[in-house]
């Protein structure tokens, strides 16, 4: 009888059930999507913050001072120490290798350029170099760590690339390949030398082809950028690297992050070592690259924590607002659905049903609605989160399966809470009035 | 129904009162009485309306304000515009003053001048002259153990310190034969080029080297378009210098801001939709609850239009009251979120008020249409018979 009552109520009062069902589905969908976005936003914004460039720099331990003014390197190439290029792939072997977005070695040297033998800084680096460490193959270079660098040059098919961001055209028109003898010339230097993409330029007695004009808004606009191997050949130091810029996803700094690892107890040390703080990643970089000193670039590293925590905090508060609005919508729909059925309650009570039996029917219906609406809403919310992730961040926001039971439990709880007051009102309502139609 | 007048009036008295009363008052009275008599239903419908309006207001306020708030956070990344003298010369002496006159006093502009000096050991080291007070405000990320506060004190980069003054003793530097004796005030750590440099007060630096500032770093507040506008203005004012935006900072900021804005927009849309659903659910109950009034009005000869108009007016009234109350609550919520998350108040934006009000009325009317059309299909007799 009980199950028949519930079943018939769903069969015959489709409209009322539909409203409540839609409300629950939408509420749960919004809640799921918002929770998914809020839990993932930290990671997504962290990746966006990487567009500020590297947050760590690795230099030789026993290096002399950098002597650089206005983008001109005044340090002789024989001076100071170098890192070994062969050690670089080991960066991928650190504990937090998945958090390392990319790295670029830099080898600045001063060279004579052109017929009037001007002193210009030539920087050797990786553009998009394919490397491997163990079984992993990966590419890295300035195109990952310095996303604001723009190159204007001709494509392989001779077409001129429009000025714009490098992502806009897949082939990367103008970027030299890492094993070529081609170079990039900074835009101000190119104006001074009156050179454009495709021209030849004499650098330290070598005739090199300018594959593109580089614009960065920084010191590189007055420099020449070339593949690392080429610069090593020019100065005759194979494998030499002055410094390495590392771009890593990090966790905002807290009290533990700034402690000195030497003074930590073993447990604290493990916790510190296994947290992606910029300090612990720097420490691990020093471990894998011999004779190196890794340092955070404070301009980038210090600020991203603040920005990240602000955005995360904002999303958390907004998620609460979304949960609150969904809960309210579900309660309102349930209350309305039950309120409309007071006549039925009167009839049931007149036929001798107790308060408990009547409430049980309503709660069973609510439970059924909550579960069906919850499942539909969860799937819709997962789709919604995916859509948001794809359209805003160009990457997936996946909903953790762990969320499913939690979301269903919340849906059932909110549905019950929303119905409780209405059910109490309906049960208490005098059947005489209800049957006389004075609802 | 349950509301009978306390004292019975004769038909004449009733007729007199009706004649005296303005014609519109019946409509208004019905609206008001309906709200007063069914307090609980009216209150729950109003509550739904208020919550929806409040959430919408808070989201709109935040949407506008958060971008401004985040922009100020992004200014902690330091200068976004750099002015450099062309061809290695110095900037004109009044450059800093003219930058400030162009951009207003609120913008932070810091002069820098560079020279390569020699240590007694013959090592080259870059010495920079600057205004410490300004540099301190611009470059929040500089980790400085102690800022110089006395004459002939210098701020020494971490790596430079090991060369010039390993045990924090006063040291000597020479530039083109002129020597200066400096005391280290504190250490500077940034992880970048600054670590290999020595920073001096600008006037001491100029007395010693005779080199005037060649670079001014400027932090311009505002949107990308405003910054570009400032760059153009500065370029016009300082033809002898290269004015360029720092692309690394500008693009990073634009990137993060755009994504945050889009996420915020998506969330706001979802929340406002959910709130509208809440209003819809409540209003369906509210109109359904009034079906007997509806039937009686029709039975007494009210036209379809009048009845529909009456319900629409009720919904609109609900929308207006809910919209106004919700607006103020929403501003409070936005201010609270601003204080909690950004430690700065969110400025209330009264410009969103018309949108919230009109939006509330539209949502209320739309929500009322569904139940009204549902009721319209039922015969009044059926309702009055209590079926």
CA pseudo-torsion sign A22, A28, A32, A34: positive
- B50 and B98 in a single domain? The answer is no
Of all residues in chain A, the percent with pLDDT exceeding 90 is 12
The pLDDT tens digits for B21-36 are 555 566 777 777 777 7
The answer to whether B315 faces chain A, any CB pair under 8 Å, is no
- B364 and B238 in a single domain? The answer is no
The pLDDT tens digits for A98-148 are 888 899 999 988 888 877 777 888 999 999 888 988 888 888 999 889 888
Task: Report the relative pairing of strands B197-201 and B124-130 from DSSP bridges.
Answer: parallel
Alpha helices in B38-148 (DSSP H): 39-74, 95-103, 132-138
Q: Which residues partner with A49 through β-bridges?
A: none
State CA A9 to chain mean position distance: 47
Read off φ and ψ for residue A113, nearest 5 degrees. -125, 140
- B287 and B321 in a single domain? The answer is yes
pLDDT of residue A159: 52
Q: Is-contact A36 A381, C-beta < 8 A?
A: yes
- B166 and B85 in a single domain? The answer is yes
How far, in Å, CA of B210 to CA of B98, rounded? Answer: 22
A-B C-beta contacts closer than 8 Å: 233
Q: What 3 state SS string does chain A have? A: CHHHHHHHHHHHCHHHHHHHHHHHHHHHHHHHHHHHHHHHHHHHHHHHHHHHCCCEEEEECCCCCCCEECCEECCCCCCCCCEEHHHHHHHHHCCCHHHEEEEEEEEEEEEEECCCCEEEEEEEECCCEEEEECCEEEEECHHHHCCCCEEEEECCCCCECCCCCHHHCCCCCCCCCCCCCEEEEEHHHHHHHCCCCCCEEEECCEEEEEEEEEECCCHHHHCEEEEHHHHHHHHCCCCEECEEEEEECCCCCCCCCCCCHHHCCHHHHHHHHCCCCHHHHHHHHHHHCCCEEEEECHHHHHHHHHHHHHHHHHHHHHHHHHHHHHHHHHHHHHHHHHHCCHHHHHHHHHCCCCHHHHHHHHHHHHHHHHHHHHHHHHHHHHHHHHHHHHHHHCCCCCCCCCHHHHHHHHHHHHHHHHHHHHHHHHHHCCHHHHHHCCC
- B232 and B274 in a single domain? The answer is no
Mutate to test the interface with B, among A30, A44, A47, A69 (most CBs of B within 10 A): A69
Q: Is-contact B74 A307, C-beta < 8 A?
A: yes
- B223 and B275 in a single domain? The answer is no
- B226 and B84 in a single domain? The answer is yes
- B100 and B241 in a single domain? The answer is yes
Domain termination residue (choose one: B245, B268, B292): B245
Assess if residue B359 is contained within a domain: yes
Q: Please spell the DSSP secondary structure of B155-199, one letter per residue.
A: EEEHHHHHHH-TTS--EEEEETTEEEEEEEEEEEE-SSGGGGEEE
Assess if residue B373 is contained within a domain: yes
Assess if residue B18 is contained within a domain: no
Q: Which two tokens stand for residue B254?
A: 């634009």
Mutate to test the interface with B, among A40, A217, A258, A281 (most CBs of B within 10 A): A217
Question: Nearest by CB to B73, which of A48, A57, A307?
Answer: A307
Does A322 score more than 90 pLDDT? Answer: no
Rg of chain A in Å (alpha carbons):
32
pLDDT of residue A155: 64
Task: Report the relative pairing of strands A72-73 and A83-84 from DSSP bridges.
Answer: unpaired
- B58 and B84 in a single domain? The answer is no
Domain termination residue (choose one: B186, B221, B245): B245
The answer to whether A69 faces chain B, any CB pair under 8 Å, is yes
The answer to whether A217 faces chain B, any CB pair under 8 Å, is yes
Read off φ and ψ for residue B131, nearest 5 degrees. -100, 110
What is the chain A residue with the closest CA to B370?
A: A19
Domain termination residue (choose one: B226, B245, B264): B245
Assess if residue B281 is contained within a domain: yes
How far, in Å, CA of A146 to CA of A169, rounded? Answer: 17
| 3-state secondary structure (DSSP) of residue B297 | helix
- B114 and B37 in a single domain? The answer is no
- B111 and B186 in a single domain? The answer is yes
The pTM assigned to this predicted structure is: 0.78
The pLDDT tens digits for A198-247 are 888 888 888 888 888 998 888 888 899 999 999 999 888 888 999 999 99
Q: Which residues partner with B242 through β-bridges?
A: B84
Q: Is-contact A294 B187, C-beta < 8 A?
A: no
Question: Nearest by CB to A218, which of B142, B248, B275?
Answer: B248
How far, in Å, CA of B299 to CA of B296, rounded? Answer: 5
pLDDT of residue A168: 45
Closest C-alpha to A381, from A131, A38, A152: A38
- B212 and B95 in a single domain? The answer is yes
Does A424 score more than 70 pLDDT? Answer: yes
Assess if residue B228 is contained within a domain: yes
Q: Please report which helix (H) or strand (E) contains residue B18, including its range.
A: helix B11-20
Cβ of B247 and A311 within 8 Å? no
Q: Is-contact A231 A124, C-beta < 8 A?
A: yes
Q: Which two tokens stand for residue B320?
A: 């207006």
Give A 176-195 residues with CB within 8 A of chain B. Answer: 188
pLDDT tens over chain B, length 387 residues: 444 455 667 777 777 766 665 555 667 777 777 777 767 777 877 888 888 888 888 888 888 788 888 888 888 888 889 998 887 778 888 888 888 888 876 788 999 999 989 888 888 889 999 999 999 988 888 889 999 988 888 999 988 888 887 788 888 899 888 889 888 888 998 888 888 899 999 999 999 988 889 899 998 888 888 888 889 989 888 888 888 888 888 888 888 888 888 888 888 888 888 888 888 888 777 777 777 777 788 888 878 788 888 888 888 888 899 999 999 999 998 888 888 887 777 778 888 889 889 988 988 888 888 777 877 776 777 777 665
Q: Is-contact B129 B189, C-beta < 8 A?
A: no
Average pLDDT rounded to a whole number, residues A368-390 = 90
Measured CA to CA in angstroms, residue A434 lies from A338, A344, B141, B235 at distances of 13, 8, 71, 81
Does A170 score more than 50 pLDDT? Answer: no
pLDDT of residue A378: 92
Which residues in chain A have their CB less than 8 angstroms from residue B160's CB? Answer: 65
Read off φ and ψ for residue B182, nearest 5 degrees. -125, 150
The answer to whether A439 faces chain B, any CB pair under 8 Å, is yes
Assess if residue B11 is contained within a domain: no
Q: Is-contact B114 B126, C-beta < 8 A?
A: yes
- In this prediction, the answer to ipTM > 0.85 reads no
Assess if residue B216 is contained within a domain: yes
Helix A355-388 to helix A298-339 angle, to the nearest 10 degrees? 150
Measured CA to CA in angstroms, residue B337 lies from A312, A324, B346, B352 at distances of 13, 15, 8, 18
The pLDDT tens digits for A75-109 are 776 677 889 999 999 898 888 888 888 999 999 88
Which residues in chain B have their CB less than 8 angstroms from residue A17's CB? Answer: none
Mutate to test the interface with B, among A56, A71, A325 (most CBs of B within 10 A): A325
The answer to whether A403 faces chain B, any CB pair under 8 Å, is no
Assess if residue B10 is contained within a domain: no
- For tokens 């005296």, what's the residue? B20
Give me the domain span that covers residue B109: 80-245
Measured CA to CA in angstroms, residue B133 lies from B62, B105, B137, B152 at distances of 33, 15, 7, 16
pLDDT of residue A157: 52
Query: What's the structural domain count of chain B?
Result: 2
């Amino acid at each position: 009888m009980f199950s028949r009552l519930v079943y018939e109520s769903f069969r015959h009062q489709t409209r009322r059930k539909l409203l409540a069902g839609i409300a629950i589905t939408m509420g749960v969908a919004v809640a799921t999507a918002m929770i998914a976005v809020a839990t993932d936003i930290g990671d997504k914004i962290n990746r966006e913050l990487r567009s500020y460039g590297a947050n760590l720099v690795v230099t030789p331990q026993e290096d002399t001072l950098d002597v650089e003014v206005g983008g001109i390197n005044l340090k002789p190439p024989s001076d100071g120490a170098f890192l070994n290029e062969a050690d670089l792939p080991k960066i991928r072997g650190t504990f937090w290798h998945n958090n390392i977005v990319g790295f670029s070695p830099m080898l600045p040297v001063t060279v004579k350029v052109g017929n009037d033998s001007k002193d210009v800084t030539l920087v050797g680096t990786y553009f998009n170099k394919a490397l491997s460490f163990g079984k992993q193959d990966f590419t890295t270079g300035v195109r990952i760590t310095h996303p604001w660098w723009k190159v204007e040059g001709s494509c392989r098919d001779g077409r001129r690339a429009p000025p714009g961001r490098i992502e806009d055209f897949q082939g990367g028109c103008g970027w030299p390949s890492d094993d070529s003898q081609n170079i990039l010339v900074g835009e101000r230097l190119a104006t001074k030398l009156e050179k454009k993409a495709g021209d030849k330029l004499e650098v330290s007695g070598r005739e090199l082809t300018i594959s593109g004009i580089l614009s960065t808004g920084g010191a590189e606009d007055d420099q020449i950028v070339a593949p690392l191997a080429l610069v090593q050949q020019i100065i005759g130091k194979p494998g030499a690297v002055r410094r390495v810029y590392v771009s890593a996803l990090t966790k905002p700094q807290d009290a533990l992050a700034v402690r000195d690892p030497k003074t930590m107890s073993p447990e604290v040390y493990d916790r510190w070592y296994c947290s992606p703080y910029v300090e612990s990643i720097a420490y691990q970089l020093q471990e894998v690259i011999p004779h190196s000193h890794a340092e955070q670039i404070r301009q980038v590293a210090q600020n991203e924590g603040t920005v990240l925590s602000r955005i995360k905090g904002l999303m958390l508060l907004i998620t609460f607002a979304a949960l609150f609005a969904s809960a309210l919508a579900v309660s309102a729909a349930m209350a309305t659905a039950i309120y409309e059925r007071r006549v039925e309650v009167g009839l049931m009570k007149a036929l001798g049903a107790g308060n408990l039996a009547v409430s049980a029917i309503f709660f069973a219906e609510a439970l059924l609605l909550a579960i069906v609406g919850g499942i539909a809403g969860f799937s819709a919310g997962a789709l919604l989160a995916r859509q948001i992730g794809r359209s805003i961040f160009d990457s997936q926001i996946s909903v953790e399966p762990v969320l499913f039971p939690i979301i269903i439990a919340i849906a059932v709880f909110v549905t019950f809470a929303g119905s409780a007051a209405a059910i109490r009102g309906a049960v208490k309502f005098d059947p005489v009035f209800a049957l006389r139609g004075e609802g | 129904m349950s509301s009978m007048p306390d004292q019975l009036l004769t038909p004449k008295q009733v007729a007199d009162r009706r004649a005296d009363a303005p014609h519109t008052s019946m409509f208004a009275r019905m609206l008001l009485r309906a709200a007063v008599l069914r307090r609980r239903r009216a209150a729950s419908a109003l509550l739904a309306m208020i919550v929806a309006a409040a959430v919408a207001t808070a989201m709109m306020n935040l949407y506008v304000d958060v971008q401004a708030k985040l922009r100020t956070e992004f200014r902690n990344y330091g200068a976004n515009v750099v002015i450099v003298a062309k061809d290695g010369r110095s900037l004109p002496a009044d450059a800093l003053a003219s930058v400030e006159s162009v951009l207003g006093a609120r913008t932070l502009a810091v002069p820098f001048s560079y020279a390569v000096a020699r240590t007694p050991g013959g090592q080259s080291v870059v010495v920079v002259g600057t205004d410490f007070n300004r540099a301190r405000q611009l470059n929040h990320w500089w980790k400085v153990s102690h800022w110089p506060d006395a004459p002939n004190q210098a701020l020494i980069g971490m790596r430079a310190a090991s060369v010039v003054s390993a045990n924090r003793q006063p040291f000597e530097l020479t530039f083109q034969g002129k020597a200066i004796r400096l005391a280290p005030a504190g250490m500077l750590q940034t992880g970048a080029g600054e670590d290999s440099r020595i920073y001096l007060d600008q006037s001491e630096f100029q007395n010693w080297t005779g080199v005037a500032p060649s670079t001014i770093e400027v932090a311009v507040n505002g949107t990308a378009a405003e910054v570009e506008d400032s760059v153009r203005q500065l370029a016009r004012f300082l033809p002898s210098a290269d004015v360029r935006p720092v692309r690394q900072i500008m693009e990073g900021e634009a990137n993060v801001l755009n994504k945050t804005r889009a996420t915020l927009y998506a969330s706001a849309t979802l929340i406002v939709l959910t709130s509208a659903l809440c209003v819809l659910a409540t209003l369906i109950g509210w109109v359904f609850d009034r079906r007997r009034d509806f039937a009686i009005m029709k039975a007494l000869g009210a036209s379809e239009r009048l009845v529909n108009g009456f319900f629409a007016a009720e919904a609109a009234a609900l929308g207006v009251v809910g919209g106004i109350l919700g607006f103020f609550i929403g501003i409070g919520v936005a201010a609270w979120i601003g204080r909690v998350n950004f430690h700065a108040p969110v400025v209330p934006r009264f410009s969103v008020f018309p949108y919230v009000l009109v939006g509330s009325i539209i949502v209320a009317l739309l929500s009322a249409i569904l139940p009204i059309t549902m009721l319209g299909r039922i015969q009044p007799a059926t309702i009055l018979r209590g079926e």
